[in-house]
């Protein structure tokens, strides 16, 4: 096995092995761009290291290091003329700021003088680089608390009478190195290593180990990145942005990652090393300012960015450093972007002739579309604007200001909506960022940690609101005369960067307005892009998309959103409200056919009118109506409430009458496991006339509404005999009217999936009820397990995502496959759909496409998401 690759040997397709950073450094090297020389130790080596605790390929590392020294004409840590390197993490999937990087490796008490000599006698620079090494090395390799170093730095600044790092002179920094070395010794029980090669080896091990740092583990779980990939390590010859005013470092995007608009976008910081920009330690200047400072480097950078876009055919983000007027490229990748930018960029690239529409559809996701359907603020009430920062990740978030990540987590657990307010965030804030509705920081640009992580999570974020004076200890911020304390409500607009005092009402997003038909698609660049991409997805997809809707209003909205029918109408919703009393009468009349018929006769016209409304809204399209599914006792008052009522009445010497009968019924009907009790088709078989009434209502409504296409769906069938019995009864009623009504069943009991060939004999269609199929497939009672212990299952990696959220392909999915294959074999014209919540889940939609379903059905707001994903699945 080969564990080490020079940059010349790799390329961008080797991300599995070299990580994204290493693969792209290799790609840039081979494009002839100015990348400092270096090599990559593979993810394979990381996996071996995590198994054994030893870094494999030592000999290879030595050889590649020797070659690097040769190329640079310098030896690692040489006292006269040292080569310094950075040791950088870089996994297959970008995990911004989650793992470790150590800069300036190779500096020692001896080589610090050599470095100063290299820099033309710049002692300040040499000591600054050395103190950075001890700080980073101490923190990441030896777990020295970072705050210790920061305190020491603050102390030196105070003694030197300056507030800025750049105000420190060489002697201050030398003093600081002494302090840092002492801190290092106190915490590790040893001296800071003076052997450059030992520094390198320790740093490599630490980077590998950082794959399993808590925050990295948490981030991977959140982003659904597999935990067994490992990171590569890149060893890169150092270039220095901290060599004075003609040096600096920056990050840039080839397009605006927030809006997708054309034009480069970036942040630059003079006289600094790379970490300073990302950490938001000092406020950066816009990249455009570089043009005045150093036109040659700026022009070269622009031309390199054009080369990269042309090469990667997509938005790229880059890290660069200028060392005394010489530009160096330190990183590139296809850049993260907001959901809005993803749509806009994809269509711009089509217009520019770079990609075709098929590719544009692949460049966006249903999850991104879902984000664009979030509501935005309604500013009609002229809310009080506190300040404005950089809109780093869009959305409208309202919540109580909280200044501490742990506190944010605790309050969110209590059900509070919170906004995490920080000066800047760092990876330790991750749990708080996940718990918060939104994030607000006073420092850092669109490329700061807060911005990058929030965008990745689709969480609202405003950063760099530099008018905010954030006081973490007091738990408050002040701005423009206002004091906002922990617990005060603020509203944060991640699109515009505006921050408001109090709760600002929200309104539908432009994309939703477009779906609703109240906004012309050409009125807005983003909406135009969404329109174009969805239209193409519709042309490509094979899956049809229906909606789950119980009312005419829901059906009408879903139709505007593109639904091609109703896949699930839950009739039990038609038994609620004032009609509950009729259900009570039905239940109490169980042994009295006359009373029962009377109650059913009253329910019939009510149901019929509901169906008429639904069928009208969906005229021309199929509407699948599920016969009543839940146990009837769910319609009765709770046991305790009734028992108290009856007891009170008896106490007063009154006759509890009706309540007593109800109480008896509730006691009689009590079930230990209602989910597995008298429900679904079992109700139809046990309670005479109930299903017949519903069928009659459906058929009468169908006869009343022109161009209606009802489909009757029987829930919870496990045996074909169940379905046959109901079917015979229904066909008799249907025969009385001249209407065409299909009869099918849900496949939601495992036995139904396993005997699908038989069940198909009595069904015109199957609709997979994947919620129940998951419950019964896993033996999970959803209500009991999700909150109680699913977190533990996720933590243990038993599944990477809840099987209720995304279909479990191997288990529940296998049941679906069996049912499709055997059902279709038995009856080639059988229709297949899905009506569980999975119908609106992007991953699951791809699965349903693969197994050959005819349609998915989902909630109205998920319809556009399913349309897009069905298109993506078909391309």
In the bound complex, what is the minimum distance in angstroms from residue 819's beta carbon to Mg ion? Answer: 15
d(CA 697, CA 702): 9
Tell me which of 835, 846, 849, 858 is the catalytic residue.
Answer: 835
In the bound complex, what is the minimum distance in angstroms from residue 522's beta carbon to Mg ion? Answer: 39
The residue whose Cβ lies closest to ligand ADP is 274
Q: Which of 427, 497, 769, 813 binds Mg ion (CB under 5 A)?
A: 769
Q: Which CB, 570 or 645, lies closer to Mg ion?
A: 570
In the bound complex, what is the minimum distance in angstroms from residue 680's beta carbon to Mg ion? Answer: 7
Q: Is 122 in the site for Mg ion (CB under 5 A)?
A: no
Beta partners for residue 386, in sequence order: none
Helices (runs of H) and strands (runs of E) counted in the chain: 35, 33
Contact (Cβ atoms closer than 8 angstroms) between residue 251 and residue 57 = no
The partner in contact with residue 103, picked from ligand ADP, Mg ion, none with C-beta cut-offs of 5 to 8 angstroms by kind, is ligand ADP
Q: Which CB, 444 or 710, lies closer to ligand ADP?
A: 444
Q: Which CB, 3 or 320, lies closer to ligand ADP?
A: 320
Q: Which CB, 210 or 347, lies closer to ligand ADP?
A: 210
Give 54: exposed, middle or buried? Use CB within 10 Å, 0-12, 13-18, 19+: exposed
The partner in contact with residue 772, picked from Mg ion, ligand ADP, none with C-beta cut-offs of 5 to 8 angstroms by kind, is Mg ion
In the bound complex, what is the minimum distance in angstroms from residue 58's beta carbon to ligand ADP? Answer: 22
Which one-letter DSSP state was computed for residue 490? E
If you search the block for the tokens 């003079």, which residue do you land on?
Answer: 270
Radius of gyration, alpha carbons of the chain: 33
The partner in contact with residue 493, picked from ligand ADP, Mg ion, none with C-beta cut-offs of 5 to 8 angstroms by kind, is none
Q: Which CB, 278 or 753, lies closer to ligand ADP?
A: 278
Q: What is the dihedral of CA 26, 28, 29, 32, to 10 degrees?
A: 160
d(CA 435, CA 462): 16
275: enclosing H helix or E strand = helix 275-279
Q: How many beta carbons lie within 10 A of that of residue 178, not counting itself?
A: 12
Tell me which of 172, 348, 449, 536 is the catalytic residue.
Answer: 449
If you search the block for the tokens 């090395």, which residue do you land on?
Answer: 137
The partner in contact with residue 275, picked from ligand ADP, Mg ion, none with C-beta cut-offs of 5 to 8 angstroms by kind, is ligand ADP
In the bound complex, what is the minimum distance in angstroms from residue 716's beta carbon to Mg ion? Answer: 6
Binding to Mg ion (CB under 5 A) within 296-335 occurs at 331
The partner in contact with residue 769, picked from Mg ion, ligand ADP, none with C-beta cut-offs of 5 to 8 angstroms by kind, is Mg ion
The two tokens of residue 380 are 């009609």
In the bound complex, what is the minimum distance in angstroms from residue 53's beta carbon to ligand ADP? Answer: 23
Beta partners for residue 236, in sequence order: 38, 86
The partner in contact with residue 748, picked from Mg ion, ligand ADP, none with C-beta cut-offs of 5 to 8 angstroms by kind, is Mg ion
Q: Which CB, 251 or 697, lies closer to Mg ion?
A: 251
Q: Which CB, 240 or 855, lies closer to ligand ADP?
A: 240
Q: Is 748 in the site for Mg ion (CB under 5 A)?
A: yes
Clarify whether 835 is annotated catalytic.
yes
Instruction: Please report, as ranges, the residues that interact with ligand ADP according to CB under 6 A.
Output: 36, 86, 88, 97, 101, 103, 236-239, 273-275, 278, 319, 321, 330-331
Q: Is 772 in the site for Mg ion (CB under 5 A)?
A: yes
| Only segment of 157-165, 252-260, 571-579, 767-775 that touches Mg ion (CB under 5 A) | 767-775
The partner in contact with residue 429, picked from ligand ADP, Mg ion, none with C-beta cut-offs of 5 to 8 angstroms by kind, is none
Of the candidates 544, 548, 549, 550, the one whose C-alpha atom is nearest the C-alpha of residue 564 is 544
The partner in contact with residue 321, picked from Mg ion, ligand ADP, none with C-beta cut-offs of 5 to 8 angstroms by kind, is ligand ADP
Q: Which CB, 45 or 612, lies closer to ligand ADP?
A: 45
The residue whose Cβ lies closest to Mg ion is 772
Contact (Cβ atoms closer than 8 angstroms) between residue 649 and residue 738 = no
Contact (Cβ atoms closer than 8 angstroms) between residue 546 and residue 833 = yes
Name the maximum alpha-carbon separation found in the chain.
106
Of the candidates 629, 628, 633, 631, the one whose C-alpha atom is nearest the C-alpha of residue 588 is 633
Q: Which CB, 86 or 347, lies closer to ligand ADP?
A: 86
The partner in contact with residue 239, picked from Mg ion, ligand ADP, none with C-beta cut-offs of 5 to 8 angstroms by kind, is ligand ADP
d(CA 798, CA 780): 14
Helix (H, G, I), strand (E, B) or coil at 243: coil
Contact (Cβ atoms closer than 8 angstroms) between residue 642 and residue 584 = no
d(CA 278, CA 448): 5
For CA atoms 860, 862, 865, 870, the dihedral sign is negative
Of the candidates 144, 352, 148, 166, the one whose C-alpha atom is nearest the C-alpha of residue 255 is 352
Which residue spans within 176-290 are E strands per DSSP?
A: 231-237, 248-255, 262-270, 285-286
Binding to Mg ion (CB under 5 A) within 125-154 occurs at none
Clarify whether 449 is annotated catalytic.
yes
In the bound complex, what is the minimum distance in angstroms from residue 333's beta carbon to Mg ion? Answer: 9
In the bound complex, what is the minimum distance in angstroms from residue 331's beta carbon to Mg ion? Answer: 5
Binding to Mg ion (CB under 5 A) within 438-467 occurs at none
Q: How many beta carbons lie within 10 A of that of residue 791, not counting itself?
A: 12
Contact (Cβ atoms closer than 8 angstroms) between residue 321 and residue 248 = yes
If you search the block for the tokens 């091990």, which residue do you land on?
Answer: 205
In the bound complex, what is the minimum distance in angstroms from residue 319's beta carbon to ligand ADP? Answer: 4
In the bound complex, what is the minimum distance in angstroms from residue 408's beta carbon to ligand ADP? Answer: 23
The two tokens of residue 615 are 């069928």
Q: Which CB, 452 or 484, lies closer to Mg ion?
A: 452
The partner in contact with residue 260, picked from ligand ADP, Mg ion, none with C-beta cut-offs of 5 to 8 angstroms by kind, is none
Rounded to 5, what percent of the chain is helix, strand, coil? 50, 20, 30
| Only segment of 130-138, 203-211, 614-622, 741-749 that touches Mg ion (CB under 5 A) | 741-749
Q: Could you list the residues that contact Mg ion (CB under 5 A)?
A: 331, 748, 769, 772
- Residues annotated as catalytic are 449, 835
């Amino acid at each position: 096995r080969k564990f080490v690759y020079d940059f010349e040997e790799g390329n961008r397709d080797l991300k599995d092995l070299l990580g994204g950073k290493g693969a792209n450094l290799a790609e840039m090297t081979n494009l002839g761009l100015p990348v400092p020389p270096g090599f990559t130790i593979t993810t394979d080596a990381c996996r071996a290291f995590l198994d054994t605790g030893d870094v494999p390929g030592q000999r290879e590392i030595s050889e590649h290091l020797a070659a690097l020294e040769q190329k640079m004409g310098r030896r690692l840590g040489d006292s006269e003329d040292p080569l310094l390197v950075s040791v950088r993490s870089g996994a297959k999937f970008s995990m911004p700021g989650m793992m470790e990087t150590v800069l300036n490796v190779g500096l020692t008490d001896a080589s610090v003088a050599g470095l100063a000599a290299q820099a033309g006698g710049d002692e300040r620079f040499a000591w600054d680089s050395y103190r950075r090494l001890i700080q980073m090395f101490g923190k990441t390799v030896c777990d020295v608390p970072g705050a210790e170093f920061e305190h020491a730095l603050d102390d030196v600044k105070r003694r030197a009478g300056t507030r800025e790092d750049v105000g420190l002179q060489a002697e201050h920094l030398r003093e600081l190195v002494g302090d840092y070395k002492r801190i290092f010794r106190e915490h590790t029980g040893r001296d800071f290593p003076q052997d450059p090669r030992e520094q390198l080896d320790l740093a490599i091990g630490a980077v590998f180990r950082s794959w399993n740092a808590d925050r990295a583990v948490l981030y991977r779980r959140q982003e659904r990145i597999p935990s067994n990939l490992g990171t590569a390590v890149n060893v890169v010859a150092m270039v220095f942005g901290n060599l004075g005013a003609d040096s600096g470092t920056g990050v840039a995007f080839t397009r605006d990652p927030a809006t997708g608009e054309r034009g480069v976008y970036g942040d630059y910081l003079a006289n600094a090393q790379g970490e300073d920009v990302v950490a938001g330690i000092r406020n950066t200047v816009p990249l455009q300012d570089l043009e005045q400072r150093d036109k040659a480097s700026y022009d070269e950078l622009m031309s390199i960015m054009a080369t990269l876009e042309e090469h990667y055919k997509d938005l790229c983000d880059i890290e660069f450093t200028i060392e005394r007027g010489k530009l160096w490229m330190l990183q590139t990748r296809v850049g993260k972007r907001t959901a809005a930018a993803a749509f806009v960029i994809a269509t711009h690239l089509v217009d520019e002739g770079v990609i075709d529409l098929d590719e544009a559809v692949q460049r966006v996701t249903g999850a991104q579309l879902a984000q664009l359907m979030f509501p935005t603020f309604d500013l009609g009430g002229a809310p009080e604007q506190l300040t404005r920062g950089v809109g780093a990740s869009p959305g409208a978030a309202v919540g109580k200001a909280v200044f501490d990540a742990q506190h944010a987590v605790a309050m969110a657990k209590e059900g509070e909506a919170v906004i995490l307010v920080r000066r800047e965030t760092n990876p330790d804030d991750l749990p708080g960022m996940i718990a918060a509705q939104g994030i607000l920081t006073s420092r850092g640009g669109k490329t700061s940690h807060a911005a990058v992580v929030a965008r990745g999570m689709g969480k609202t974020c405003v950063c760099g609101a530099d008018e905010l004076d954030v006081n973490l200890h007091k738990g408050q911020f002040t701005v423009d005369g206002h004091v906002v304390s922990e617990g005060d409500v603020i509203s944060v607009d991640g699109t515009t960067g505006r921050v408001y005092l109090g709760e600002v009402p929200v309104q539908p997003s432009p994309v939703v307005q477009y779906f609703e038909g109240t906004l012309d698609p050409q009125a807005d660049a983003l909406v135009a892009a969404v329109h174009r991409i969805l239209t193409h997805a519709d042309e490509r997809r094979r899956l049809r998309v229906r909606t789950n809707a119980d009312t005419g209003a829901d059906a009408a909205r879903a139709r505007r959103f593109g639904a091609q029918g109703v896949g699930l109408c839950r009739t039990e919703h038609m038994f609620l409200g004032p009609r509950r009393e009729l259900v009570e009468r039905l239940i109490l009349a169980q042994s009295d056919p006359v009373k029962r018929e009377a109650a059913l006769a009253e329910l019939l016209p009510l149901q019929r009118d509901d169906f008429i409304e639904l069928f009208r809204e969906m005229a021309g399209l199929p509407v699948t109506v599920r016969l009543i599914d839940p146990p009837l006792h769910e319609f009765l008052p709770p046991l305790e409430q009734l028992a108290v009522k009856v007891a009170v009445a008896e106490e007063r010497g009154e006759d509890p009458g009706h309540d007593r009968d109800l109480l008896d019924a509730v006691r009689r009907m009590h079930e230990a496991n209602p989910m597995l009790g008298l429900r679904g088709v079992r109700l139809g078989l046990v309670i005479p006339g109930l299903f017949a009434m519903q069928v009659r209502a459906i058929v009468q409504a169908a006869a009343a509404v022109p161009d209606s296409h009802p489909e009757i769906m029987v829930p919870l069938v496990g045996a074909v005999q169940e379905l046959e019995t109901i079917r015979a009864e229904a066909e008799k009623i249907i025969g009385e009217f001249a209407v065409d009504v299909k009869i099918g069943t849900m496949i939601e009991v495992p036995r139904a999936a396993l005997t699908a060939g038989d069940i198909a004999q009595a069904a015109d269609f199957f609709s997979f009820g994947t919620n129940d199929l998951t419950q019964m497939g896993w033996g999970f009672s959803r209500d009991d397990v999700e909150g109680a212990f699913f977190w533990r299952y996720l933590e243990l990696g038993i599944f990477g995502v809840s099987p209720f959220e995304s279909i479990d392909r191997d288990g529940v999915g296998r049941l679906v496959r069996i049912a499709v294959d055997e059902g279709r074999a038995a009856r080639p014209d059988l229709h297949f759909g899905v009506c569980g919540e999975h119908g609106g889940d992007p991953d699951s939609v791809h699965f349903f496409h693969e197994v050959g379903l005819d349609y998915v059905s989902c909630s109205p707001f998920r319809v556009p998401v399913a349309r897009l994903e069905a298109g993506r699945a078909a391309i």
